[in-house]
Structure 1
Amino acid sequence: MWSLNAFKNFSSKLHQIRCLNTQKIGIIGVPFDKGASKRGADKGPKALRESGLIDEIKQISSNIDVKDYGDVHYELMSSNGRKIHNLNELNHVAACNRALAERIEEILNDERMPITLGGCHSIAIGSISGVVRKTAPDNMCVLWIDAHLDLNTNTTSPTGNMHGMPASLIVKELRSNWPFVPELEWCKAELSLKNFCWIGLRSIDYYERLSMEKYGIKYFDMRDIDKMGIDKVTNAAIKHINPNGDKKLHVSFDIDALDPLFANATGTPVGGGLTLREGIFLMEEVYKSGTLRSMDLVEVNPQLGDARDVTNTINSAKAILYAALGNNRSGNTS
């Protein structure tokens, strides 16, 4: 039999251990779609929240502490009337991402893991820039999970839509390929492509392909996943960019990485993608690595597809997030 004092001491120590192991999450929404040609991705954060996202994250574990930081709001900067070729809605993309980078800093200052809900994929410019401000670039690595490479510049993009350019704006190898863009002067291209790995690729533009070959970009396309299996691909990707497990990992997850059977309510769906099971397993392995420090989930568009498409896409997006935060498909016990 324990004495009352012994029980109190044990309870106190258990509480301290739980506090030390608490996973502190900061959710930030970015209702923004001007980096894409199709409208509606700006409704993604609201749709995810209204589906019960925050409360369901809290149910994963008693050790999860979630704070919702609301949505990003921004004011346009003066461009002095200067136009830059093939950068659609540049002033909006630049202003939104600058504001997002500042909010990501705020979340990190609160010692929380930023989870950014998009919005089109152009918002990765701000989310990753915000993390880099608080993390040495050589101490950070990025998994880009997407059907697309998103490595175009204004001179190579076939559309001018900036949701196809965010990766190229934040890596130093491609900085010389960009003109001087005053609106994006705050965005420092400090990360190296050697610390990036792409998973799920199946739609790559011509000049992006040339960049892949020129810089030796590490990637696993859908053919690799078919040949190797998602287990070997995931762990090879993590090992490549974080061989010693000492770097902070950012995951930028575009919902169109999943096959349209599981996520059709998105702007640029491409057939032959990841199954939902593969996407969940991938993020479970990311969680198990213990290195995840920040994440984007983008391109959920509740204005595309029918009601079933929207429901499936939202549910798939939530399942991906829950796996990243430690949800156990065999049941949670803590």
Structure 2
Amino acid sequence: MRELKIIEVKSELGAGTRGASMGIDAIKIAALDFGSRYFKKHRSIEIANENHLLLESVGNQFAKRISGVLTMVERIAEEVSKSVQNNEFPILLSGDHSCAAGSITGIKKAFPKARLGVIWIDAHADLHSPYTTPSGNLHGMSLAVVLDEDNIDSKINKPDQETLNYWFQLKNVANISPKINYNDLVYIALRDFEPAEQYLLKKHKVKNFPTLEIRKRGVERVAIDALQYLDQCDMIYVSFDVDAIDASISKGTGTPVANGITEKEAGNLVSRLMSHEKVCCFEIVEVNPTLDKENLMAENAFEILLRATNSLIND
């Protein structure tokens, strides 16, 4: 059986709202409040962050703090790569969703010839590039990074050369680009995206299981269908952004969106996905306790983390 390895990434350079770097400690506090020994029981390491850059000017208007995000993606990729090569199962607790580009890169770095599937449980598509971004926040570009997607067809911005140089480096970490293909990508609970992202979703006929489908057909069926859709893949990475959960519940995150799944549906979904033998890495992102009341989001995230872990251990 693969040994679990918790990787903590307290980085929030890619987010527009401050506080996501504190999400990991908030999850640990939730564990203590539940009387759980989870973080005593499982080995945990922390990746050094570059959050000092938050105190400096953002620079690179259409890709804010991209130099720091590049450093983080390289560090995360290195750690994840070592873990999966050692037959460990990395569970990442990360600040903002730009960190996921590092996790995906790490799996590909370890197994460059493997076909990697991605299940992206998120309210947002995260398919922007410096050419299309309305905000310049890199947590909205993580999938574009690993898909090597510029989306010039939908261009609205004119990034400067320095930004484009960093963007090229970011897409080419580990000298593999693209890391994944559109037909190996599945969204669950996606419901908030801009026209530039919608253009890509339609163009590539990207698979999405919206909340309504989960309600109609049930979590179990959707999980099975998502895994079957990625049947041609050798390995599968699962990324869980807490804003997949409905805004009425998920106040403790930077970009809450209505019409999401419930915390119970999220737990059942993740639990079902994690029991599949091809799933090799799991990540939870975007818990922001500064926006929360009574640490509720972190408590929900911890319960989902527990469900995920129990599925792996009991598999």
Q: Same fold (TM over 0.5)?
A: yes
Alignment correspondent of 1:14 = none
Q: Distance in 1 between matches of 2:124 and 2:113?
A: 24
How far apart are 1:237 and its partner, in Å? 1.1
How far apart are 1:223 and its partner, in Å? 2.8
Residues 138 and 76 from structure 1, CA distance in 2 versus in 1: closer, same or farther, beyond 3 angstroms? Answer: farther
Residues 137 and 314 from structure 1, CA distance in 2 versus in 1: closer, same or farther, beyond 3 angstroms? Answer: farther
Q: Secondary structure at the match of 2:130?
A: coil
After superposition, the C-alpha distances for 1:83-141 in whole angstroms (9 at most, x for unaligned) are 75511111111111111111212322432111111100010111111111112454321
1:274-313 maps to which residues of 2 (within 5 A)?
274-307=261-294, 310=295, 312-313=296-297
Q: Distance in 2 between matches of 1:85 and 1:71?
A: 26
Residues 101 and 290 from structure 1, CA distance in 2 versus in 1: closer, same or farther, beyond 3 angstroms? Answer: same
Alignment correspondent of 1:4 = none
Tell whether the 8 Å contact from 1:267 to 1:304 is kept in structure 2 after alignment: yes
Paired residue type of 1:34: L
1:1-334 maps to which residues of 2 (within 5 A)?
22-52=1-31, 56-57=37-38, 66-73=42-49, 86-136=62-112, 138-172=114-148, 174=149, 177=152, 179-181=164-166, 183-184=169-170, 185-186=172-173, 188-242=177-231, 247-307=234-294, 310=295, 312-326=296-310
Tell whether the 8 Å contact from 2:247 to 2:260 is kept in structure 1 after alignment: yes
Paired residue type of 1:151: L
Tell whether the 8 Å contact from 1:76 to 1:91 is kept in structure 2 after alignment: no
| Percent identity for Structure 1 against Structure 2 | 27
Taking only aligned residues, the RMSD between alpha carbons, in angstroms, comes to 2.8
State the TM-score, normalizing by the size of structure 2: 0.84
Q: Distance in 1 between matches of 2:314 and 2:72?
A: 40
Q: Distance in 2 between matches of 1:75 and 1:84?
A: 16
Tell whether the 8 Å contact from 1:256 to 1:266 is kept in structure 2 after alignment: yes
Alignment correspondent of 2:56 = none
Comparing 261-270 and 106-115, the one that deviates more:
106-115
Paired residue type of 2:178: A
Tell whether the 8 Å contact from 2:11 to 2:49 is kept in structure 1 after alignment: no
After superposition, the C-alpha distances for 1:69-88 in whole angstroms (9 at most, x for unaligned) are 123335999xxxxx755111
Q: Secondary structure at the match of 1:289?
A: coil
State how many pairs are aligned.
Answer: 294
Residues 196 and 76 from structure 1, CA distance in 2 versus in 1: closer, same or farther, beyond 3 angstroms? Answer: same
After superposition, the C-alpha distances for 1:161-191 in whole angstroms (9 at most, x for unaligned) are 110110011014x257594435424253221
User: Which of these two proteins has the greater Rg computed from alpha carbons?
Assistant: 1
After superposition, the C-alpha distances for 1:214-260 in whole angstroms (9 at most, x for unaligned) are 111111122322333322222111110125xx621100100110113
5+ long unaligned stretches in structure 2 = 54-58, 153-158
Tell whether the 8 Å contact from 1:262 to 1:316 is kept in structure 2 after alignment: no
Paired residue type of 1:128: I
Tell whether the 8 Å contact from 1:73 to 1:99 is kept in structure 2 after alignment: no
Q: Distance in 1 between matches of 2:113 and 2:24?
A: 28
Comparing 42-51 and 289-298, the one that deviates more:
42-51
Comparing 183-192 and 22-31, the one that deviates more:
183-192
How far apart are 1:327 and its partner, in Å? 5.0
